[in-house]
């Protein structure tokens, strides 16, 4: 195969909008071992490329340069730079194309990430240090991961800003592919603000985006995007939105043919969803989940949820300390700070139940003295019996007032009588 034959093949693929063929012509490992052959092509000039769309000429030039870096120079860093340049040029070409180009663009983005991964494995320390460089020095060189993010961001914007009203004909049809890669890179860079900015851009669009249902073509990307997006909602303490995103992710995952192959991802979704469901809906999963995921059983059923549902403050606090590194890393720490309130409600319910069983007068057993809560809350907080329970009614009153104000308890406080008068019908809505 000569340079002119190669250019002729690319020209035909472009004319016919044959994305599959174009993907093959831009392979870094082309069929029949043609890689070294392509690497030895002369650099094409404008005369060689005169039949090619002007915007695509630079794609071909970058591709041949890339093949030289791979097969002749054997330099992975140079290969990454060249491949990145090729995707930048492809983005430029894609600006004036319909969504037929998406397939080629996605394939090239995937391959660019593949090259980045090889580079990361080849020079782990260098890449890691570069990615973690102090951002105060604004004139520093961009890290490879930032370069990658910038390029994928351009592809994402191309997709988001396609104004074609017909979604099936629009580049937006593949938006979750670019979005999932981009949000994952921003998390890897530790730059949550950038991740939030693309969420903002997404919310700001007035054009239709693919729905998260069984008809969605690229469910894997949508699940990945929804997972990271739910973490952003967790960061903002928007627990309802976080739960809703995870439920959508789980729903899409249910269409996976062999779920055991993606068990780690399934577990990662459930790690976040389970405490959110407890907090938002007061629901816990059925036993089947605990059987499938022993790690979750240990973490939640046997410990965190157990202490919350029983009202064991001391045990809950201790276990939170034990797993706090994990909770912080998973952005769950704040949620569990909120779930401590649920633990307190469980304890208060128990106190009311026990007090009522000890009080024989049914006419007054909806009135509970602060002293009863003082005993149980002190006992639960310290995890052991006290010789005497020092009266700390101001704190008790504050706890109860706050729970009444937030609608967890129905009733009113009597400061002078040092008691709470509960609703006779629904004390705990």
Question: Which residues lie near another protein (CB under 8 A)?
Answer: 184, 188, 214, 219-220, 223-224, 227-228, 247, 250-251, 253-259, 261-262, 264-266, 268, 271, 277, 281-286, 288-289, 295, 298-299, 309-312, 322-323, 325-326, 329-330, 346, 349-351, 353-355, 357-358, 371-372, 375-376, 379-380, 385, 389
Distance between CA atoms of 340 and 307, rounded to whole angstroms?
Answer: 9
Residue placing its CB nearer to another protein in the complex, 5 or 287: 287
Q: Which DSSP string do the residues of 9-59 spell out, in sequence order?
A: HHHHHHHTT-HHHHHHHT-SS-GGG-HHHHHTSPPP-TTTTTTS-HHHHHH
Closer to another protein by Cβ: residue 140 or 353: 353
Q: In the complex with another protein, which residue's Cβ is closer, 49 or 308?
A: 308
Residue with smaller CB distance to another protein, 76 or 223 = 223
Please state the closest distance from residue 284 (CB atom) to another protein, in A: 5
Q: How far is the CB of 207 from another protein (least distance, A)?
A: 25
Choose between 69 and 104: whose C-beta lies nearer to another protein. 104
Instruction: Determine the Cα–Cα distance for residues 40 and 305; give it in Å rounded to an integer.
Output: 64
CB of residue 237 to another protein, shortest distance in Å: 21
Q: How far is the CB of 351 from another protein (least distance, A)?
A: 7
Least distance from C-beta 260 to another protein, angstroms?
11
DSSP bridge pairs for 412:
421
- The closest of 427, 263, 286 to 345, measured between CA atoms, is 427
Nearer to another protein, 37 or 309 (CB): 309
- Residue 405 beta carbon to another protein: minimum distance, rounded to whole angstroms: 22
Return the number of the residue (94 or 271) whose C-beta is nearest another protein: 271
How far apart CA 302 and CA 281 sit, in angstroms, is 20
Q: Give the span between the Cα atoms of 37 and 3, in whole angstroms.
A: 10
Q: Comparing C-alpha atoms, which of 275, 428, 420, 429 is closest to residue 350?
A: 428
- Please give the C-alpha separations between residue 33 and each of 1, 92, 98, 342, in angstroms, as whole numbers: 12, 29, 32, 64
Give the CA distances from residue 109 to residues 105, 143, 155, 183, in Å, rounded to whole numbers and listed in that order.
Answer: 6, 17, 9, 14
**Min CB(4)–another protein separation in Å:** 34
Measured from the CB atom, the residue of 69 and 221 that comes closer to another protein is 221
Pick the closest to residue 181 from 85, 258, 112 (CA basis). 112
Residues 6+ apart with CB under 8 A from 400: 348, 370, 373, 409, 413, 420
Q: State the nearest-atom distance from the C-beta of 250 to another protein, in Å.
A: 4
SS3 413: strand
When the beta carbons of 70 and 368 are compared against another protein, the nearer one is 368
- Closest CB 371 distance from another protein, rounded Å: 7
β-pair type (419-422, 411-414): antiparallel
Q: Which is nearer to another protein, 15 or 217 (CB)?
A: 217
Minimum distance, C-beta of residue 63 to another protein, in the bound complex (Å):
23
Contact 419, 368 (CB under 8 A): yes
Q: What are the phi and psi torsion angles at 240 (to 5°)?
A: -65, -45
Residues for the chain: how many in total?
Answer: 429
């Amino acid at each position: 195969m000569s340079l002119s034959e190669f250019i002729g093949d690319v020209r035909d693929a472009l004319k016919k909008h044959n994305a599959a063929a174009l993907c093959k012509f831009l392979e870094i490992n082309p069929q029949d071992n043609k890689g070294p052959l392509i690497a030895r092509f002369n650099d094409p000039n404008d005369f060689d490329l005169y039949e090619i769309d002007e915007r695509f000429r630079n794609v071909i030039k970058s591709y041949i340069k890339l093949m030289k870096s791979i097969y002749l120079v054997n330099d992975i860093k140079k290969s990454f730079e060249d491949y990145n340049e090729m995707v930048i040029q492809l983005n430029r070409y894609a600006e004036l194309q319909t969504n037929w180009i998406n397939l080629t663009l996605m394939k090239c983005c995937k391959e660019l990430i593949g090259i980045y991964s090889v580079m990361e494995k080849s020079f782990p320390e260098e890449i890691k240090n570069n990615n973690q460089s102090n951002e105060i020095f604004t004139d520093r060189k961009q890290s490879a991961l930032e370069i990658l993010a910038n390029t994928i961001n351009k592809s994402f914007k191309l997709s988001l800003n396609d104004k074609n009203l017909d979604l099936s004909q629009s580049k937006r049809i593949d938006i979750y592919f670019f979005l999932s890669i981009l949000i994952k890179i921003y998390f890897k860079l530790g730059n949550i603000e950038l991740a939030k900015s693309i969420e903002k851009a997404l919310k700001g669009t007035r054009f239709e985006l693919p729905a998260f249902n069984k008809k969605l073509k690229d469910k894997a990307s949508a699940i990945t995007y929804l997972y990271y997006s739910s973490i952003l909602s967790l960061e903002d303490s928007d627990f309802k939105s976080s739960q809703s995103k995870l439920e959508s992710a789980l729903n899409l995952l249910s269409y996976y043919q062999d779920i055991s192959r993606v068990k780690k991802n399934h577990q990662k979704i459930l790690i976040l969803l389970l405490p959110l469901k407890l907090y938002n809906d007061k629901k816990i999963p059925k036993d089947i989940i605990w059987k499938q995921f022993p790690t979750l059983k240990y973490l939640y059923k046997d410990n965190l949820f157990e202490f919350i549902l029983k009202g064991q403050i001391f045990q809950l606090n201790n276990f939170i300390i034990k797993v706090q590194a994990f909770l912080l890393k998973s952005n769950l720490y704040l949620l569990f700070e909120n779930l401590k309130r649920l633990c307190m409600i469980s304890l208060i319910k128990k106190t009311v139940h026990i007090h009522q069983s000890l009080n024989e007068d049914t006419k007054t057993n909806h009135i509970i003295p602060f002293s009863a809560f003082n005993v149980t809350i002190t006992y639960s907080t310290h995890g052991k019996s006290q010789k005497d329970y020092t009266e700390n009614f101001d704190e008790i009153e504050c706890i109860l007032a706050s729970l009444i104000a937030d609608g967890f308890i129905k009733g009113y406080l009597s400061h002078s009588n040092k008691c709470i008068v509960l609703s006779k019908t629904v004390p705990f809505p």
